[in-house]
Amino acid sequence: MNTLVAVAIAPFGVGDELAEHVAEVVRVIRASGLPCRTNSMFTEIEGDWDEVMDVVKRATFVLAEQGIRTEVILKADLRPGHTGTMESKVRKVDDILG
């Protein structure tokens, strides 16, 4: 079933600058080959539920397996019969705004 998630995976207790750790997480997500997009707060990933959740797990464990306390914030949208929702949802709003 097509699944679109917005996920934030972040370390705790490693200092003020998190970019290096976040980059490790994003590297795993991008290497998955699933459609994804990163912004300042979340990374969106789209695909089959099992594939998306596997990527979220692997991206989380890249930090946790280093002994780093890791927080995961996840929002999921399951929409049967649809694909490409990461792009189409934004396009619909942009069309309305003109």
| 3 φψ region: left (φ > 0), alpha (ψ -120 to 50), beta (else) | beta
Encode pLDDT of 4-55 as tens digits: 999 999 999 888 889 999 999 999 999 999 999 999 999 999 999 999 999 9
81 contact partners, CB below 8 Å, separation of at least 6: 2
Considering the entire predicted model, what is its pTM? Answer: 0.91
Cα dist from 44 to 3, 37, 76, whole Å:
10, 5, 10
Sketch out the chain's domains with CATH numbers: 2-97 (3.30.70.930)
- Residue-level pLDDT at 13: 87
